[in-house]
Amino acid sequence: MTDHVLEHGVVGLTLRPVAAAVGTSDRMLVYHFGTRDDLVMAVVLRTEERSIAAIDALPAASGVRAGVNALWRAYQTEPLASGLRVYLQAAATGLLGQEPHRSGARAGGERWVGAIRAYLVRCGVPAERAPRVTALVDSSLYGFHLDLVTDTPDELAQGVDDLAVAAAALADLSLAGRAD
Protein backbone atom coordinates (compact mmCIF):
# COMPACT_ATOMS: atom_id res chain seq x y z
CA MET A 1 0.00 0.00 0.00
CA THR A 2 2.80 2.39 0.84
CA ASP A 3 4.32 1.66 -2.55
CA HIS A 4 1.06 2.57 -4.23
CA VAL A 5 0.73 5.81 -2.31
CA LEU A 6 4.35 6.76 -2.98
CA GLU A 7 3.59 6.39 -6.65
CA HIS A 8 0.25 8.17 -6.80
CA GLY A 9 0.56 10.73 -4.03
CA VAL A 10 -1.25 11.01 -0.75
CA VAL A 11 -3.69 13.78 -1.62
CA GLY A 12 -5.85 11.57 -3.79
CA LEU A 13 -5.62 8.57 -1.52
CA THR A 14 -9.08 7.04 -1.75
CA LEU A 15 -10.03 3.70 -0.34
CA ARG A 16 -11.30 1.84 -3.36
CA PRO A 17 -8.39 2.39 -5.78
CA VAL A 18 -5.72 1.66 -3.20
CA ALA A 19 -7.65 -1.39 -2.05
CA ALA A 20 -7.83 -2.70 -5.61
CA ALA A 21 -4.10 -2.08 -6.02
CA VAL A 22 -3.28 -4.36 -3.11
CA GLY A 23 -5.91 -6.96 -3.97
CA THR A 24 -8.52 -6.32 -1.33
CA SER A 25 -11.60 -4.17 -0.81
CA ASP A 26 -12.27 -0.84 0.83
CA ARG A 27 -14.25 -2.76 3.39
CA MET A 28 -11.07 -4.48 4.55
CA LEU A 29 -9.04 -1.28 4.76
CA VAL A 30 -11.61 0.28 7.03
CA TYR A 31 -11.76 -2.86 9.11
CA HIS A 32 -8.01 -2.99 9.67
CA PHE A 33 -7.22 0.72 9.94
CA GLY A 34 -10.45 2.03 11.42
CA THR A 35 -10.74 5.13 9.30
CA ARG A 36 -9.19 6.63 6.23
CA ASP A 37 -7.22 9.20 8.23
CA ASP A 38 -5.60 6.49 10.29
CA LEU A 39 -4.62 4.68 7.13
CA VAL A 40 -3.06 7.83 5.70
CA MET A 41 -1.10 8.38 8.87
CA ALA A 42 0.16 4.81 8.86
CA VAL A 43 1.39 5.26 5.32
CA VAL A 44 3.07 8.57 6.18
CA LEU A 45 4.84 7.01 9.15
CA ARG A 46 6.08 4.09 7.10
CA THR A 47 7.27 6.54 4.44
CA GLU A 48 9.24 8.41 7.06
CA GLU A 49 10.87 5.19 8.25
CA ARG A 50 11.99 4.31 4.76
CA SER A 51 13.38 7.78 4.15
CA ILE A 52 15.30 7.78 7.41
CA ALA A 53 16.76 4.40 6.60
CA ALA A 54 17.84 5.67 3.20
CA ILE A 55 19.67 8.62 4.75
CA ASP A 56 21.31 6.44 7.35
CA ALA A 57 22.61 4.22 4.56
CA LEU A 58 24.22 7.15 2.77
CA PRO A 59 28.04 6.94 2.62
CA ALA A 60 29.76 9.95 4.15
CA ALA A 61 31.14 12.54 1.76
CA SER A 62 34.35 14.48 2.26
CA GLY A 63 33.33 17.86 3.49
CA VAL A 64 30.11 19.74 4.06
CA ARG A 65 29.74 21.00 0.52
CA ALA A 66 30.13 17.56 -1.03
CA GLY A 67 27.82 16.15 1.62
CA VAL A 68 25.01 18.56 0.87
CA ASN A 69 25.25 17.91 -2.84
CA ALA A 70 25.29 14.17 -2.26
CA LEU A 71 22.24 14.56 -0.03
CA TRP A 72 20.45 16.40 -2.79
CA ARG A 73 21.26 13.68 -5.29
CA ALA A 74 19.91 11.11 -2.86
CA TYR A 75 16.75 13.18 -2.52
CA GLN A 76 16.22 12.86 -6.25
CA THR A 77 16.40 9.07 -6.30
CA GLU A 78 14.15 6.47 -4.76
CA PRO A 79 13.00 5.97 -2.13
CA LEU A 80 13.73 9.50 -0.93
CA ALA A 81 12.21 11.27 -3.93
CA SER A 82 8.77 9.75 -3.46
CA GLY A 83 9.08 9.81 0.29
CA LEU A 84 9.78 13.51 0.41
CA ARG A 85 6.97 14.20 -2.00
CA VAL A 86 4.48 12.38 0.20
CA TYR A 87 5.76 14.17 3.27
CA LEU A 88 5.54 17.56 1.58
CA GLN A 89 2.01 16.85 0.46
CA ALA A 90 1.01 15.90 3.95
CA ALA A 91 2.65 18.98 5.42
CA ALA A 92 1.39 21.45 2.81
CA THR A 93 -2.20 20.29 2.92
CA GLY A 94 -2.27 20.72 6.66
CA LEU A 95 -2.77 17.03 7.29
CA LEU A 96 0.15 17.06 9.68
CA GLY A 97 -1.05 20.14 11.48
CA GLN A 98 -4.03 18.70 13.29
CA GLU A 99 -4.10 16.38 16.25
CA PRO A 100 -3.74 13.54 16.77
CA HIS A 101 -1.63 13.28 13.65
CA ARG A 102 0.48 16.27 14.64
CA SER A 103 2.27 14.54 17.50
CA GLY A 104 3.14 11.50 15.46
CA ALA A 105 4.22 13.56 12.50
CA ARG A 106 6.39 15.75 14.66
CA ALA A 107 8.13 12.75 16.18
CA GLY A 108 8.74 11.27 12.74
CA GLY A 109 9.95 14.57 11.40
CA GLU A 110 12.40 14.96 14.23
CA ARG A 111 13.85 11.52 13.58
CA TRP A 112 14.17 12.47 9.93
CA VAL A 113 16.04 15.66 10.81
CA GLY A 114 18.14 13.63 13.21
CA ALA A 115 19.22 11.36 10.38
CA ILE A 116 20.26 14.36 8.30
CA ARG A 117 22.17 15.82 11.22
CA ALA A 118 24.01 12.56 11.77
CA TYR A 119 24.92 12.45 8.10
CA LEU A 120 26.22 16.01 8.09
CA VAL A 121 28.32 15.27 11.16
CA ARG A 122 29.74 12.28 9.32
CA CYS A 123 30.64 14.69 6.52
CA GLY A 124 32.64 16.87 8.88
CA VAL A 125 30.23 19.39 10.36
CA PRO A 126 31.41 20.13 13.91
CA ALA A 127 28.97 18.67 16.41
CA GLU A 128 28.21 21.91 18.19
CA ARG A 129 27.38 23.54 14.88
CA ALA A 130 25.42 20.63 13.47
CA PRO A 131 21.92 21.61 14.64
CA ARG A 132 22.05 24.99 12.91
CA VAL A 133 23.54 23.68 9.69
CA THR A 134 21.02 20.87 9.69
CA ALA A 135 18.08 23.23 10.09
CA LEU A 136 19.28 25.22 7.12
CA VAL A 137 19.96 22.24 4.90
CA ASP A 138 16.78 20.42 5.82
CA SER A 139 14.39 23.25 5.09
CA SER A 140 16.30 24.32 2.01
CA LEU A 141 16.06 20.87 0.50
CA TYR A 142 12.31 21.02 1.07
CA GLY A 143 12.18 24.22 -0.92
CA PHE A 144 14.40 23.02 -3.73
CA HIS A 145 12.31 19.90 -4.05
CA LEU A 146 9.21 22.03 -4.53
CA ASP A 147 11.00 23.92 -7.27
CA LEU A 148 11.44 20.67 -9.16
CA VAL A 149 8.06 21.07 -10.82
CA THR A 150 8.89 24.40 -12.44
CA ASP A 151 12.64 24.99 -12.50
CA THR A 152 15.14 23.38 -14.81
CA PRO A 153 17.68 20.87 -13.47
CA ASP A 154 20.53 23.28 -14.21
CA GLU A 155 19.08 26.06 -12.12
CA LEU A 156 18.40 23.67 -9.28
CA ALA A 157 21.89 22.15 -9.34
CA GLN A 158 23.32 25.66 -9.14
CA GLY A 159 21.00 26.57 -6.28
CA VAL A 160 21.80 23.46 -4.30
CA ASP A 161 25.52 24.01 -4.70
CA ASP A 162 25.04 27.53 -3.38
CA LEU A 163 23.22 26.00 -0.44
CA ALA A 164 26.21 23.72 0.08
CA VAL A 165 28.56 26.69 0.09
CA ALA A 166 26.37 28.54 2.54
CA ALA A 167 26.09 25.52 4.79
CA ALA A 168 29.86 25.13 4.76
CA ALA A 169 30.24 28.80 5.62
CA LEU A 170 27.80 28.39 8.49
CA ALA A 171 29.70 25.38 9.74
CA ASP A 172 32.99 27.26 9.61
CA LEU A 173 31.72 30.16 11.67
CA SER A 174 32.13 28.45 15.01
CA LEU A 175 35.53 27.08 14.08
CA ALA A 176 36.74 30.59 13.34
CA GLY A 177 35.53 31.58 16.77
CA ARG A 178 33.16 34.17 15.42
CA ALA A 179 29.92 34.80 17.26
CA ASP A 180 26.71 34.40 15.30
**Site residues for DNA per CB under 7 A:** 13-17, 24-28, 30-32, 35-37
Q: Looking at beta carbons only, is 11 or 22 nearer to a copy of itself?
A: 11
Residue from 20, 57, 127, 165 binding a copy of itself (CB under 8 A): 165
The least distance separating DNA from the CB of residue 34, rounded to whole angstroms, comes to 8
- To 10 degrees, what angle do helices 64-75 and 36-56 make? 140
The least distance separating a copy of itself from the CB of residue 123, rounded to whole angstroms, comes to 16
The least distance separating a copy of itself from the CB of residue 158, rounded to whole angstroms, comes to 7
Tell me how crowded residue 43 is: count the other CB atoms within 10 A of its CB: 22
The answer to whether residues 33 and 42 touch, using CB atoms and an 8 Å cutoff, is: yes
Q: Which stretch binds a copy of itself (CB under 8 A): 20-28, 55-63, 120-128, 149-157?
A: 149-157
- Which stretch of DSSP H or E encloses residue 131? helix 130-147
Q: Looking at beta carbons only, is 89 or 140 nearer to DNA?
A: 89
- DSSP string spanning 42-78? HHHHHHHHHHHHHHHTSPPPSSHHHHHHHHHHHHTST
